[in-house]
């Protein structure tokens, strides 16, 4: 039984002549609460299915940090009906590929398949959402895989380490305090029972949704969805995340000592949740400061003064209040203190001087191009729609997207800079290189 | 005089292709009077255009003792022309939300410019200006030199960069593929303006380049506009690439890069592979898939799934104009370094012992038959494939025939190429780790040379 059907067209009339760029998004819902978003496009013989579970490291707690991600790995272990080798054969042996990712707010699985293989993909996803067969043995070997992933991404990399330090320190109460990879000792100790409890609650149809994009027939896709998901029962919804990060009352400055060639900084300002209208002017601020070689900070620190090897930054959009991050690394011999001072000066300038009309228009043009380029493939479209559903609570926000970019004013940018980008709400991680001597060739680079 | 020939290569008009069938957008090709080949890929789904100019002058063309010159010349293109300084170039492309950049790989320099269709004029003007009129200003050279050297220094924190550099030096030695594309601190320090100008003058000619334009375009209009934008570009004789013989790999040699703070060991080992033009391309591809590509390979099953020793293990055939490497790449806990290497060697050797099983053979053939057409979904993806065809001199039928050629490969072919090209007794190994913990184990493989990261 279908509860509702809505077909909406995404029209980017401000970018292309009306009607020229449009793709429909059809929404359907099963009785068990599973939402299905259908985005047909027959231009290439491929179809993407993404299953979005509304759970990520945001839904974890101390002791089981990293369980969403560890469990994501366990989802590839197979079921009675589709043991691991059979599952893999049905995907890869049909010319498909699959993978998954775990973030703060979601865990997402996908298959990209030749267009006539959508039914198989839906069958596989429905089956593993409830019938996974996991045991202590496969948990134990996968735990080692995840430990190796953690070593690779974070422990053996200065920037991975700084990124983790930023969230560990910027948040004191909200679960964004830890990264989706989790703390090492939690990865070491998460039990099979904890995995199974997590699975039952968070992988229910009413806590997930499908996005299907590409060369398929919506009616037959819905027949498959009903056939495989229809009998699965809804569960009690998972406990809501009620923790609100308390207001930060002062700048946090943290030194991070690690062997590295060059000093660097990673900082973050507290910004609101993805559904806040202030996200758009914050994004514009990010463009003005960091996007392209003509941006204020790139041009000043990397190009003109040649103090930084790179600078970057942007608003990170999440379901709950997150961070506007900024990062830079010094070239040999440059002072990190100067770089930070100038970075913060440029951020402060946004609070007192309106950005020029040309800068505003440039930022809008950049965001418009990013948006269109983010809709190239079926996978891109499904990801864009799914992320908007997670980050803003409503995928239909894609429709007003281009207009909301255009609506931002220079005053908006000044207002959000004043409201959010204050020193009191800033956390600064300083990478202090563990090797005291400057590398031998530093003389050639100032 | 302009020859104006529009040659429709492949036009498939089906609105619903059968799965497994390659479905390409209309692709047309033209050769301008100055010899520049332009390929237009028409796809009206989104109002965007992506242009790429490919110049056959990658790092393999770096002169002796000038490692990195190709990459440096590519990076210099954006830093100023006769009519625009670096800031003006950046400002113009950023203002329209486009992207403009050049980079080198081993075989070619690639200059890319993407923008929304409505800004095509701006993009084309900038692309042609930076290719035709760069000034290679000395202040900009110093700026880029500092930036490049800082980047090389920074890359010593990245175990994978150290690994790639160490492995290529060990395997290729003085061969054109032996040095890093970006060069070394020493070589980049020595570049002069004259070096860059000479390199540019030698290789930047229309008969040594081709252009691919993909997106929301009308081919005849695009040919017209490209033709007028690049009309002044002059043909010239292009010097032939001098290639040293590949150094033979005899026995097993190990380069251990000592990074005392490493909490994980990065590993790459292998030997020479085959060229892109080799008729054994298809059996090698299937052999490699079964051995070490993706989540269903033998190596993944043994070392990741059963062994829990890594997050990622794969084998790669480098497809370049000259023979590249065939290598296995992974990372693991320091204390499982030797178990991971030995397990991988056993699996690799196993490919030579017997024909692959029916199931893995069928799955591999079916994988590529289904997967390949899916990799041609977006205009950018089609452009990348066309660039491969042009750069490696493949027949234009290559794309349409890919699946057919994959399906022709037999199990016996796979065994034959494994036996012909894999030789686990004669390999080089590069390992980046805390040397103290792994050196003794590595000695069981062969002679070990230890370098610290400052020597890299």
Instruction: Quote the pLDDT of residue A445.
Output: 35
Would you say A104 and A274 are in contact if contact means Cβ atoms under 8 Å apart? no
Q: Which of 161-190 (B) contact A at CB < 8 A? A: 185-186, 189
Instruction: Quote the pLDDT of residue B178.
Output: 94
Per-residue pLDDT of A95-140, as tens digits, reads: 999 999 999 999 999 999 999 999 999 999 999 999 999 999 999 9
Q: Which residues does A56 contact at the CB level (< 8 Å), separation at least 6?
A: A68, A102, A103, A104, A105, A106, A107, A180
Instruction: Quote the pLDDT of residue A436.
Output: 39
Confidence label for A9 from pLDDT (cuts 50, 70 and 90): low
- The residue count of chain A comes to 446
Instruction: Quote the pLDDT of residue A15.
Output: 54
Confidence label for A259 from pLDDT (cuts 50, 70 and 90): very high
Residue in chain A lying closest to B94 (CA): A292
* Interface check B6 vs A, CB under 8 A: no
Specify the higher pLDDT residue, B4 or A342. Answer: A342
pLDDT tens, residue order, chain B (456 aa):
333 333 333 333 222 233 467 888 999 999 999 999 999 999 998 999 999 999 999 999 999 899 999 999 999 999 999 999 999 999 999 999 999 999 999 999 999 999 999 999 999 999 999 999 999 999 999 999 999 999 999 999 999 999 999 999 999 998 999 999 999 999 999 999 999 999 999 999 999 999 999 999 999 999 999 999 999 999 999 999 988 888 889 999 999 999 999 999 999 999 999 988 899 999 999 999 999 998 889 999 999 999 999 999 999 999 888 889 999 999 999 999 999 999 999 999 999 999 999 999 999 999 999 999 999 999 999 999 999 999 999 987 899 999 999 999 999 999 999 999 999 999 999 999 999 999 999 999 999 999 999 888
Torsion of CA A202, A203, A208, A214, to 10 degrees: 150
Q: Name the percent of chain B lying above pLDDT 70.
A: 96
Q: A428 to chain B, minimum CA–CA distance in Å?
A: 21
Instruction: Quote the pLDDT of residue A18.
Output: 42
Report how far Cα A257 is from the mean position of its chain's Cα atoms. Answer: 27
Q: A135 — alpha (psi -120 to 50), left (phi > 0) or beta?
A: beta
- Tell me if A45 and B156 make a contact (CB, 8 A cut-off): no
Mutate to test the interface with A, among B18, B19, B141, B455 (most CBs of A within 10 A): B19
pTM of the model: 0.92
Would you say B319 and B177 are in contact if contact means Cβ atoms under 8 Å apart? no
Sheet containing strand B447-452, strands side by side: B313-317, B325-333, B264-272, B427-433, B252-258, B447-452
Instruction: Quote the pLDDT of residue A401.
Output: 86
- All residues of chain B having their beta carbon less than 8 Å from the beta carbon of residue A259 are 157, 260-261
- Tell me if B308 and A372 make a contact (CB, 8 A cut-off): no
Both tokens assigned to B362: 């069928």
Both tokens assigned to A138: 């496969």
- Tell me if B98 and A117 make a contact (CB, 8 A cut-off): no
Both tokens assigned to B310: 């890594």
- Tell me if B362 and A93 make a contact (CB, 8 A cut-off): yes
Instruction: Evaluate whether ipTM surpasses 0.95.
Output: no
Instruction: Quote the pLDDT of residue B21.
Output: 73
Instruction: Please compute the mean of the pLDDT values over residues A161-187 and round it to a whole number.
Output: 98
Q: At B41, phi and psi to the nearest 5?
A: -115, 115
Domains of chain B: 7-229 (3.30.830.10), 252-455 (3.30.830.10)
Q: A10 to chain B, minimum CA–CA distance in Å?
A: 12
Q: What span, in angstroms and rounded, lies between the C-alpha atoms of A29 and B90? A: 47
Q: What span, in angstroms and rounded, lies between the C-alpha atoms of B284 and A420? A: 56
- Tell me if B359 and A89 make a contact (CB, 8 A cut-off): yes
Q: A138 to chain B, minimum CA–CA distance in Å?
A: 8
Residue in chain B lying closest to A443 (CA): B146
- All residues of chain A having their beta carbon less than 8 Å from the beta carbon of residue B378 are 376-377
Domains of chain A: 6-229 (3.30.830.10), 252-444 (3.30.830.10)
- The residue count of chain B comes to 456
- Tell me if B309 and A148 make a contact (CB, 8 A cut-off): yes
Out of A45, A98, A444, the one facing B17 most closely (by C-beta) is A45
- Tell me if A331 and B145 make a contact (CB, 8 A cut-off): no
Q: Which of 2-21 (A) contact B at CB < 8 A? A: 12, 15-16, 20-21
Instruction: Please compute the mean of the pLDDT values over residues A368-374 and round it to a whole number.
Output: 92
Instruction: Please compute the mean of the pLDDT values over residues A316-341 and round it to a whole number.
Output: 97
Instruction: Quote the pLDDT of residue B20.
Output: 60
Positions of E strands within B190-251: 209-215
Out of B48, B189, B381, the one facing A372 most closely (by C-beta) is B48
Instruction: Please compute the mean of the pLDDT values over residues A242-258 and round it to a whole number.
Output: 97
Q: At A281, phi and psi to the nearest 5?
A: -65, -30
How many CA atoms lie within 13 Å of B86's alpha carbon, on the beta-carbon side? 22
Instruction: Quote the pLDDT of residue B189.
Output: 98
Q: What span, in angstroms and rounded, lies between the C-alpha atoms of B19 and B17? A: 6
- CB neighbourhood size of A209 (10 A): 23
Concatenating the DSSP letter of every residue in A284-319 gives HHHHHHHSSTTSHHIIIIIIIS--EEEEEEEEPP-S
Lowest-pLDDT range of A319-323, A437-441, B196-200, B209-213: A437-441
- CB neighbourhood size of A193 (10 A): 8
Instruction: Please compute the mean of the pLDDT values over residues A83-94 and round it to a whole number.
Output: 93
Confidence label for A440 from pLDDT (cuts 50, 70 and 90): very low
Q: Which residues does B404 contact at the CB level (< 8 Å), separation at least 6?
A: none
Both tokens assigned to A381: 């479209």
């Amino acid at each position: 039984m279908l509860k509702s059907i809505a077909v909406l067209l995404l029209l980017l009339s401000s970018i292309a002549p009306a009607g020229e760029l449009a793709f429909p998004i059809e929404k359907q819902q099963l009785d068990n609460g599973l939402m299905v978003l259908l985005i047909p496009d027959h231009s290439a013989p491929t179809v993407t299915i993404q299953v979005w579970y509304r759970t990520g490291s945001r839904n974890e707690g101390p002791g089981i940090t990293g369980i969403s991600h560890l469990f994501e790995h366990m989802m590839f272990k197979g079921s009675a009906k589709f043991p691991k080798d059979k599952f893999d054969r049905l995907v890869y042996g049909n010319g498909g590929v699959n993978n998954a990712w775990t973030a703060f707010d979601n865990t997402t699985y996908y298959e990209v398949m030749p267009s006539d293989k959508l039914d198989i993909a839906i069958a596989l996803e429905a089956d593993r959402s409830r019938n996974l067969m996991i045991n202590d043995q496969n948990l134990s070997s996968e735990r080692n895989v995840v430990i190796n992933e953690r070593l690779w991404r974070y422990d053996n990399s200065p920037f991975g380490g700084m990124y983790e330090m930023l969230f560990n320190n910027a948040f004191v109460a909200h679960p964004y305090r830890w990264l989706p990879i989790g703390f090492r000792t939690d990865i070491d100790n998460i039990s099979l029972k904890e995995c199974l409890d997590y699975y039952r609650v968070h992988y229910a149809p009413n806590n997930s949704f499908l996005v299907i994009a590409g060369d398929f027939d919506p009616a037959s896709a819905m027949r498959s969805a009903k056939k495989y998901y229809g009998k699965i029962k809804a569960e009690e919804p998972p406990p809501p995340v009620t923790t609100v990060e308390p207001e930060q009352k002062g700048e946090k400055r943290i030194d991070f000592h690690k062997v590295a060639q060059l000093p660097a900084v990673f900082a973050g300002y507290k910004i609101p949740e993805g559904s806040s209208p202030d996200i758009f002017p914050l994004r514009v601020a990010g463009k003005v400061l960091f996007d392209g070689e003509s941006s204020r900070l790139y041009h000043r620190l990397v190009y003109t003064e040649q103090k930084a090897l790179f600078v970057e930054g942007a608003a990170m959009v999440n379901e709950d209040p997150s961070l506007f991050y900024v990062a830079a690394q010094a070239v040999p011999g440059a002072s990190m203190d100067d770089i930070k001072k100038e970075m913060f000066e440029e951020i402060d300038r946004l609070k007192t001087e309106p950005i020029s009309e040309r800068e505003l228009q440039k930022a809008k043009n950049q965001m418009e191009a990013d948006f269109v380029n983010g809709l190239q493939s079926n996978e891109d479209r499904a990801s864009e729609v799914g992320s908007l559903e997670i980050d803003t609570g409503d995928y239909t926000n894609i429709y007003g997207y281009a207009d909301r970019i255009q609506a931002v004013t220079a005053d908006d940018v000044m207002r959000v800079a004043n409201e959010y980008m204050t020193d009191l709400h800033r956390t600064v991680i300083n990478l202090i290189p563990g090797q005291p001597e400057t590398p031998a060739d530093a003389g050639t680079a100032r | 005089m302009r020859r104006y020939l529009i040659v429709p290569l492949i036009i498939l008009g089906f609105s619903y292709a059968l799965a497994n069938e390659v479905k390409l957008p209309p692709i047309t090709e033209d050769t301008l009077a100055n010899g520049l080949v332009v390929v237009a890929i028409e796809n009206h789904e989104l109002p965007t255009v992506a242009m790429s100019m490919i110049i056959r002058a990658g790092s393999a063309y770096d002169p002796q003792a000038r490692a990195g010159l190709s990459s440096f010349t590519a990076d210099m293109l954006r830093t100023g022309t006769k009519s625009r300084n670096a800031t003006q170039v950046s400002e113009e492309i950023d203002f329209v939300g486009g992207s403009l950049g050049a980079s080198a790989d081993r075989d070619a320099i690639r200059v890319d410019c993407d923008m929304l269709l409505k800004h095509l004029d701006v993009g084309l003007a900038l692309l042609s200006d930076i290719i035709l009129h760069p000034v290679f200003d000395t202040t900009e050279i110093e700026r880029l030199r500092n930036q490049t050297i800082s980047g090389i220094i920074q890359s010593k924190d990245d175990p994978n960069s150290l690994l790639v550099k160490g492995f290529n030096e060990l395997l290729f030695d003085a061969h054109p593929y032996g040095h890093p594309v970006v060069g070394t601190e020493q070589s980049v320090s020595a570049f002069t303006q004259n070096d860059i100008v000479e390199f540019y003058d030698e290789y930047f000619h229309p008969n040594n380049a081709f252009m691919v334009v993909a997106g929301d375009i009308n081919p005849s209009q695009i040919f017209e506009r490209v033709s007028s934008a690049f009309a002044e570009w002059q043909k010239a004789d292009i010097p032939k690439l001098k290639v040293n013989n590949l150094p033979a790999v005899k026995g097993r040699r190990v380069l251990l890069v000592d990074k005392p703070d490493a909490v994980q060991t990065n590993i790459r080992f292998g030997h020479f592979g085959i060229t892109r033009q080799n008729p054994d391309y298809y059996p090698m591809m299937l052999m490699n898939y079964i051995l070490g590509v993706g989540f269903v390979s033998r190596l993944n099953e043994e070392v990741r799934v059963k062994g829990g020793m890594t997050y990622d293990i794969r084998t790669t055939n480098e497809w370049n104009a000259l023979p590249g490497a065939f290598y296995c790449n992974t990372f693991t806990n320091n204390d499982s370094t030797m178990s991971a290497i030995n397990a991988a060697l056993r699996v690799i050797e196993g490919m030579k012992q017997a024909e692959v099983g029916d199931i893995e053979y069928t799955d591999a053939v079916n994988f590529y038959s289904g997967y390949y057409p899916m990799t041609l979904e977006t205009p950018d993806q089609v452009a990348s494939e066309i660039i491969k065809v042009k750069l490696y001199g493949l027949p234009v039928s290559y794309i349409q025939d890919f699946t057919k050629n994959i399906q022709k490969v037999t199990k016996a072919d796979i065994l034959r190429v494994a036996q012909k090209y894999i030789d686990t007794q004669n390999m080089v190994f590069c390992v980046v780790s805390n040397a103290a913990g792994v050196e003794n184990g590595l000695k069981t493989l062969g002679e070990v040379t230890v370098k610290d990261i400052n020597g890299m």
